[in-house]
Amino acid sequence: MIEGVNNFPTTTAWPEGGDKRIMDKDDFLKLLVAQLKNQDPLSPLDSFEFTAQLSRFSQLEQLMNLNAAMEDVQWLLGSSVILGAVSFIGKEVTAAENTIWLEDEEATPIHYRIQRQVSSLRVTIYDEDYQVVRVIDLGPRDPGEGEAIWDGRDGKGTLLPSGKYHFKVEAEDTSGNPVEVPTWVQGKVTGLTVEDGEVCLLMGNLPISLSSIMEVRETG
C-alpha cells in the first residue's frame, strides 16, 4: 500500500528535471491518483483522510494561483513605473537630492534657498563613502535663492576623480543659530537607470530618484 500523500518525503529524487524538491499541484494530484489505484482492497483509504487530502490539494492550487497572480501584478507595476519614468526623458526636472556628479572638472550645480539673512553659509562635499573632501565657505548671504558651483577639487587643490558625490549646505544667522537651507539639483533628464532595484532618472550621469522630483518642465 502506498503511504499517504502527507507522508511523502520532500527530498525524493525525480527521474526528470533533476532533483525536484518542491511539489506543485500536478505532482500532488498524480500522487493522489496513484494512491487510489494502488490502495489495499482489504484496507481502503479512509474517506475522512481522502477528503482531507483533497482539501490540501485545493489549498495548494489556490496558493499557486495566488502566487502567479501576484507575479503578474508585480510585473504590471514594474512596467507602469518604467513607462511613467520614460515620459520624463527630455524634460527639465528639479529634484530634492543631496548628490551631484563630477565629470571633467564640472560638477552638478547646487541650488539653495535662504529664508532669512545669514552670517555664514558653507557647502560641504563628501565622496561616496561620506568622507569630507572639500568645505566651501560662501560667507554671509541675504535671503533668496542661490547657486554653488564646485570646481571638483579637494581642499589641497587636487582634482578629484569623476563620479558621484554628496553635499550638505549649512548656515547660521547673526546670533549663531543654525538656519535650515532647502537644497535641490536641476537639469535635463537624459535617460533611465536602476539603482538598488529602483528605477531612477538620469540627469547626465547622475541618478535621480522618482520620489525626489519637485518640479517638471518642458524644455524650450
Domain end residue (candidates: 86, 101, 117): 86
pLDDT at 8 over 90: no
Q: Given a cut of 70, is residue 46 above it in pLDDT?
A: no
What's the confidence (pLDDT) of residue 200? 87
Boundary-marking domain end, from 31, 62, 86? 86
Mean pLDDT of 201-216: 92
Q: Residue 136: pLDDT band by 50, 70, 90 thresholds?
A: very high
Whole-angstrom distance between the N-terminal and C-terminal Cα of the chain? 80
Given pLDDT bands bounded at 50, 70 and 90, which one contains residue 9? very low
Question: Of 66, 86, 106, at which residue does a domain stop?
Answer: 86
Please tell me whether residues 180 and 207 are part of one structural domain: yes
pLDDT confidence of 13, banded at 50, 70, 90? Answer: very low
Quote the domain boundaries for residue 51: 5-86
Q: Are residues 132 and 201 in the same domain?
A: yes
Same domain, 54 and 136: no
Number of domains present in the structure of the chain: 2
13 & 42 share domain: yes
Per-residue model confidence (pLDDT) at position 88: 87
Percent of the chain with pLDDT strictly greater than 90 = 49
Residues 80 and 98 in one domain: no
pLDDT at 7: 41
Residue 120 has pLDDT above 60, yes or no: yes
Res 213: pLDDT: 92
pTM equals 0.63
What pLDDT is stored for residue 203 in this prediction?
93
Q: What's the mean pLDDT when you consider all of the chain?
A: 78
Is the pLDDT confidence value at 144 over 50? yes
| 123 and 62 within one domain | no
My answer on whether 107 and 136 are in the same domain is yes
Residue 11 has pLDDT above 60, yes or no: no
- Statement to judge: residues 52 and 104 lie in one domain: no
Are residues 36 and 126 located together in one domain of the fold?
no
Greater confidence, 107 or 62?
107
CB < 8 Å & 24+ apart, contacts of 122-127 = 122/169, 122/170, 122/171, 123/148, 123/150, 123/167, 123/168, 123/169, 124/167, 124/168, 124/169, 124/170, 125/150, 125/165, 125/166, 125/167, 126/165, 126/166, 126/167, 126/168, 127/160, 127/165, 127/166
Q: Are residues 107 and 208 in the same domain?
A: yes
**Whether 12 and 56 share a structural domain:** yes
**Nearest one of 169, 211, 207 to 187, comparing CA atoms:** 207
